[in-house]
Structure formats: structure tokens, C-alpha cells
Amino acid sequence: MDRSKQNFSKRDYSAQPKANYPDYRSTILRHQGHKLVALPQTLADTKGPVFGHMDLGANDDDLIINYASSGKSAIGERILVTGKLLDETGAPVPNALIEVWQANGGGRYRHKNDGYLAPLDPNFGGCGRCLTDREGNYVFRTIKPGAYPWPNGGNDWRPAHIHFSIFGQGFAQRLITQMYFEGDPHIQICPIVQSIGDARAVNQLVARLDMAQSVPMDLIAYRFDLILRGPNSTVFENKTGGH
């Protein structure tokens, strides 16, 4: 198919998060009050790099052990996160680099600015990556992240979530979103989630329990599909145009 001649459906802009959402206090200071300014891109931004399987380590997609000492593993609820990367027609997107990062099982990130009281796990780094296969599938083994407090309204807690970054054919072609977990009560009261304002769009950010993919006596599986563009696109934090 010649995608350069394909007509894409327009995105539903009403599903986008509100730029100025007072309940999410950070938006008051950082929302853009003026028209966006387009910055020119170089060939290096749009044409490279091209990622291949040789660029990834053997355990890059296994957050349970990819930071652990030999014979050790991360502490927490062991889970499997699977899904498909799709375009707006439902066609799979193969050989796309997906990166993830998250807090540990206690809700703390391995970051110097994270001062939450929960302890660090010495065997959990909190990041991983993989390439989608020819059918657009991806798989990560990891630990279910914990909820954590953040200084927004005095007693706000982020729902358990995993950050996703999806690369195109260059560093400038990057989409970022967050995945939440089915049944988490914090989703309905989180100002960041509720700034989206569209129940369908929020629902697309929630991973579903998938017992068919769960590994008995080992891993609980969750399914999270990603749609790159179109009216049914996943909400991406850094892409409001829907392309």
C-alpha cells in the first residue's frame, strides 16, 4: 500500500487533555497561552536512526532481571505486559522501538530527585525496551509499579502506571503515553488522568487483565494495545495533532 496517498481520518481533538486544567496544578504555569511555533527539523531528526535487533540486549525487555545482580530478581508482583502497535486501519506496525519506564513495586523511581519514603529495590532499574515483531506485537516482563504521592493538592496519589515511548524512523518521531491498570480506584480521582476529559480516551489507557496470557505460578498478564493515529488513537502526551 502506498501510504503517501492514503487518506487518514481526522482525529477527535475533544479527547485531548486540557492544556490548562486547574486541578492539575502544574498546567497553570506551563500551559501554552500563545500559538505554537514550528521548529525546523534536520535530516538527522527525521531520517535516523534505524533500530535493529542487534542494538538491543538480551534482557532489555525483562525489567525483572535486567538490572538485577546475578541470580537475583526485582521485588514485587510479577507481571507480563503485552499488546499490539497498530495504525488507524488496524494494521500492525512492525520493527518499532518501544521503551518503558516506571516506579518500583513500592512506588519509587530510581531517580535522584525522587524523595518518596518507599525504599529503592537494588535489583530493579525501572526501564526496558523492545522491538515490535512482524505482527506488531510487543512483550515486557516487569513488576507492577506501586502508587505514589505527589505534591499537587495535598493528598494526591498517582495511579500505578507505566510510561511508554514509541519511536518512528527518527528521534523526532516519538510518541509518549501512560498505561494504567484495570480496577485501580486512583484512576478516577487522579487530576492528570481526568484532565483528558473523555471517558473513551481514558479507557484506552487502561490495560486489561489477560488470564489467557498469564503464566501459572509466575506472571499475571495485562494487555495494552496502542493505536498511533486517527479518531481512535491512543492519547499521547506530546502529540495533539493526531498524525
DSSP 214-229: -BTTTBEEEE--EE-S
pTM summary value: 0.84
Kindly indicate the confidence band of residue 241, based on its pLDDT and cuts at 50, 70 and 90. Answer: very low
| Overall residue count recorded for the chain in this entry | 243
Which sequence positions are flagged as catalytic? 109, 148, 158, 161, 163
DSSP state of 42: -
Kindly indicate the confidence band of residue 34, based on its pLDDT and cuts at 50, 70 and 90. Answer: low
* pLDDT tens sequence across 66-105: 999 999 999 999 999 999 999 999 999 999 999 999 999 9
User: Domain segments of the chain: what residues?
Assistant: 74-243
Which CATH code fits 74-243? Answer: 2.60.130.10
Kindly indicate the confidence band of residue 243, based on its pLDDT and cuts at 50, 70 and 90. Answer: very low
In order of 62, 125, 196, the CA distances from 69 in angstroms are: 14, 11, 40
Pairing mode, if any, of strands 78-86 and 226-227? parallel
* pLDDT tens sequence across 10-21: 666 666 676 777
Backbone angles phi, psi at 120, to 5 degrees: -75, 150
Give the span between the Cα atoms of 188 and 18, in whole angstroms: 16
Q: How much is the pLDDT for 156?
A: 94
Q: Is the pLDDT of residue 48 over 60?
A: no
